[in-house]
Structure 1
Amino acid sequence: MNPIRPPIGVAIAGLGFGESVHLPALKANPDLQPVALWHPRRERLEKASNQHELIGYSDWSALLTDPKIEAVILATPPGPRFELALEALKAGKHLLLEKPVALHADQVAELQRLAIKQRLSVAVDFEYRAVPLFMQAKRLLDQGIVGTPWLVKLDWLMSSRANASRPWNWYSQSEAGGGVIGALGTHAMDMLHWLCGPTRQVSALLSTSIQTRPDPFSGELRDVSSEDVTLAQLKLGGNERPEIPAQVSLTAIALQGRGCWLEIYGSNGSLLLGSDNQKDYVHGFGLWAAAAGEPLRSISADLDLAFPTTWTDGRIAPVARLQGWWAESMRSGQPMLPGLAEGWASQHVCDKIRDSARSGQRLEIQSTL
Structure 2
Amino acid sequence: MNTKNKKLKIAIAGLGFGKKVHLEALKESDYLTPVAIYHYEKKQKSILEKETGLDFFHNWEDLVKSSEIDGIIIATPPESRFKLAKQALENNKNLLLEKPVSLSSSEIEELQRISLINNLSVCVDFEYRAVPLFLQTKKLIDENILGEIYLVKLDWLMGSRSDPKRAWDWYSLEEKGGGVIGALGTHAFDMLNWFFGEAINVSGKLATSIKKRPLPNSSDLNDVTSEDVCLANIEISNYSSNLIPCQVSLSSISKNGRGFSLEIYGSEGSLILKSENQKDYVHGFNLKYSNNENKIQNLTADSSFNFEKTWTDGRIAPVLRIQNLWAESIFNKTPIIPGLCEGLASHKVCEAIRESSKSGLNIKI
Aligned to 1:252: 252
The 1:149–1:93 alpha-carbon spacing in structure 2 relative to 1, beyond 3 Å, is same
1:293 is aligned with what amino acid? Answer: E
Q: CA deviation at 1:307?
A: 0.5
Per-residue deviation at 1:283? 1.0
Taking a change above 3 Å as real, the CA distance of residues 289 and 45 of structure 1, as seen in their structure-2 partners, is farther
| Change over 3 Å in CA distance of 1:278–1:44 after alignment to 2 | farther
Partner of residue 87, structure 1: 87
In 2, the alpha carbon distance for the partners of 1:355 and 1:160 equals 26
Gaps of 5+ in 1: none
Counterpart of 1:341 in structure 2 is: 341
Matched residue type, 1:337: I
Separation (CA, whole Å) in 2 of partners of 1:220 and 1:3: 54
Task: Say whether residues 1:326 and 2:326 are aligned partners.
Answer: yes
Verify: 1:227 aligned to 2:227, yes or no.
yes
- For residues 97 and 48 of structure 1, the distance between their equivalents in structure 2, rounded to whole angstroms, comes to 21
Partner of 1:165: helix, strand, or coil? coil
Asked if 2 retains the 8 angstrom alpha-carbon contact of 1:10 and 1:70, the reply is: yes
Counterpart amino acid of residue 333 in structure 2: G
Separation in structure 2 between the aligned mates of residue 241 and residue 22 of structure 1, nearest angstrom: 42
Percent identical: 51
Instruction: Please give the residue correspondences for 1:93-242 in structure 2 after superposition, counting only pairs within 5 Å.
Output: 93-240=93-240, 242=242
Structure 2 counterparts to residues 259-298 of structure 1, below 5 A: 259-298=259-298
- Greater Cα offset, 130-139 or 278-287: 278-287
Query: 1:74-133 deviations in whole A, cap 9, x for unaligned?
Result: 000001001000000001000000000001111111101110011000000000000000
What residue is the counterpart of 2:314 in the other structure?
314
Aligned residue pairs total 364
Deviations 1:185-218 (A, max 9, x none): 0000000100111101011011000000011144
Q: Matches of 1:250 and 1:26 in 2, distance apart?
A: 31
Shift, 1:291, TM fit:
0.8
Quick one: distance in 1 between partners of 2:7 and 2:338?
22
In structure 2, C-alpha distance between the alignment counterparts of 1:267 and 1:284, rounded to whole Å: 28
- CA change 1:285–1:3 in 2 (3 A) is closer
Contact 1:197 1:241 in 2 (8 A): no
Relative to structure 1, the CA distance from residue 264 to residue 123 in structure 2 (aligned partners, 3 Å threshold; closer, same or farther) is same
The TM-score normalised by the length of structure 1 is 0.97
Q: Distance in 1 between matches of 2:96 and 2:218?
A: 36
Partner SS, residue 282 of structure 1: coil
**Aligned mates of 2:3, 2:200 — CA distance in 1:** 48
2:127–2:322 CA contact under 8 A, matched in 1:
yes
1:360–1:45 Cα change, 3 Å: farther
Match of 1:305 in 2: 305
1:35 partner SS: strand
Distance 1:3 1:259 in 2: 40
Given residue 16 of structure 2, which amino acid in structure 1 is its aligned partner? G
Gaps in structure 2 of 5+ consecutive residues = none
Match of 1:73 in 2: 73
- 1:218 and 1:256 map into 2 onto residues whose CA distance is 27
Preserved CA contact (<8 Å) 2:229 2:251 = yes
CA contact (8 A) 1:38 1:45 kept: no
Tell whether 2:12 aligns with 1:12.
yes
Indicate if the aligned counterparts of 2:71 and 2:94 stay in contact, CA closer than 8 A: yes
Quote the offset at 1:326 in angstroms: 0.3
SS in 1 for 2:79: coil
Q: Corresponding residue for 2:64? A: 64
Q: 1:232 to 1:160 in 2, by over 3 A?
A: same
Structure-2-length-normalised TM-score: 0.98
Q: Could you tell me how far apart the structure 2 residues matched to 1:30 and 1:67 are?
A: 21
CA offset at residue 241 of structure 1?
6.3
1:88 and 1:58 map into 2 onto residues whose CA distance is: 14
**Whole-angstrom distance in 2 between the partners of 1:100 and 1:268:** 35
How many angstroms apart in 2 are the aligned matches of 1:355 and 1:22?
33
Q: Secondary structure at the match of 1:80?
A: helix
